[in-house]
Amino acid sequence: MLSTFTLTCKAITLKYLQSGNIKLEVQVFNKDFVLLTNKEERSLCDLGHQIRSKKFDFINDVIATENEIYLDINDNYSVGKLKKIEQIQFTAINTTKSIQVPFILNPENSLLESLRNKKLTLQDFLGHITTQNISIAMFGFIPGFVYMRELDKKYHIARKNKPSISIPCHSLAVGGKYLGIYSNPSPGGWHIIGQLVFPVYDESKSEPFFISSSDTIKLIPVDKKSGNELKEKFDNLHDYNARA
């Protein structure tokens, strides 16, 4: 088990960071990664996005959950650089929006086979994931990846025995008890359900996510023709959700 150390540098001890109205407890593990926590907070995913968007040279990767932020640090790390996080004037978001996310249904064979083995139809599965607002669990393990809250146990789908070499970008997929969105192409063992009509993540923007951790997602299945028509009519997910 990893040992926990208080963050120190030249006799300076840093136990907490303050970003806007959020106080974060600081822990460093073997000087390989930093863990920022606030057990009472439920919006640290959004702060994690903002930290990632700053592209600090001492951070390789950021993974954020509701109340923890994991920072994979490198040799450029110092206490002084970590304190730059305090320059982010973050305000916790306490409101919840329902974001409609249309996707083009295109299930891969491995998903259909898994459903048959569980004596479920594709319509059963789609009924479960499209008739409710699904909350966001966390963002990570690769940039732009979105974990959505646990499915009912009946609809858990075991991951592939042999992961795919590359899952296409903007794929909606299921793995175990979670739904997920691959915003970037990546190897992976999740089963593809379809492709999003509009990306939820654009790393070229200063605020790359079109969704917030406080939002819920309403999945809208469409056919390819309808999906293409939506792309012609709306520029992005914000525009689609702002329609009259």
Taking each helix axis from N to C end, the angle separating 109-117 and 122-130, rounded to the nearest 10 degrees, works out to 100
Instruction: Give the CATH number for residue 222.
Output: 2.40.100.10
Number of independent structural domains in the chain? 2
Tell me the mean pLDDT per 10 residues along the chain, length 244: 36 70 84 84 75 86 82 90 85 75 96 96 96 86 84 94 93 95 94 97 82 88 96 95 81
Q: Which neighbouring-strand residues pair with 139?
A: 64, 146
d(CA 130, CA 158): 20
For residues 71 and 96, what is the distance between their CA atoms, to the nearest angstrom? Answer: 26
Whether the CB-CB separation of 79 and 199 falls below 8 Å is answered with: no
Residue 93 resides in a domain: no
Instruction: Specify the pLDDT at position 91.
Output: 66
Residue-range definition of the domain harbouring residue 185: 98-241
- Whether residues 108 and 208 share a domain: the answer is yes
Q: Are residues 80 and 137 in the same domain?
A: no
pLDDT, position 1: 32
pLDDT of 182:
95
Q: What is the pTM of this model?
A: 0.72
Looking at residue 121, its pLDDT comes to 96
Whether residue 141 is preceded by a cis peptide bond, meaning omega within 30 degrees of 0, is yes
Residue 126 located in a structural domain: yes
Spatial separation of the C-alpha atoms in residues 218 and 179, rounded to whole Å: 12
Claim to verify: residue 133 and residue 186 sit in the same structural domain: yes
143 in the same domain as 41: no
Let me know whether 73 and 134 are in one domain.
Answer: no
Are residues 62 and 120 located together in one domain of the fold?
no
Per-residue pLDDT, 2: 33
Could you say which of 87, 121, 142 is where a domain stops? 87
Same domain membership, residue 209 and residue 132: yes
Domain boundary among 87, 106, 133: 87
The answer to whether residue 235 is domain-embedded is yes
Q: Flag whether 177 is in a domain.
A: yes
Does residue 9 lie within any of the structural domains? yes
| 128 & 70 share domain | no
- 83 shares a domain with 105: no
**Do 116 and 171 share a domain, yes or no?**
yes
Residue where a domain stops, chosen among 58, 87, 116: 87
Q: Are residues 134 and 227 in the same domain?
A: yes
What pLDDT is recorded for position 10?
Answer: 35
Buried b or exposed e, range 179-188, using 16+ CB within 10 angstroms: bbbbbbebeb
Instruction: Report the distance separating Cα 141 and Cα 8, nearest Å.
Output: 28
DSSP β-ladder status, 134-139 and 171-175: unpaired
Same domain? For 79 and 135 the reply is no
> For residue 13, what is the domain's CATH number?
3.30.1360
Report if residue 92 sits inside a domain.
Answer: no
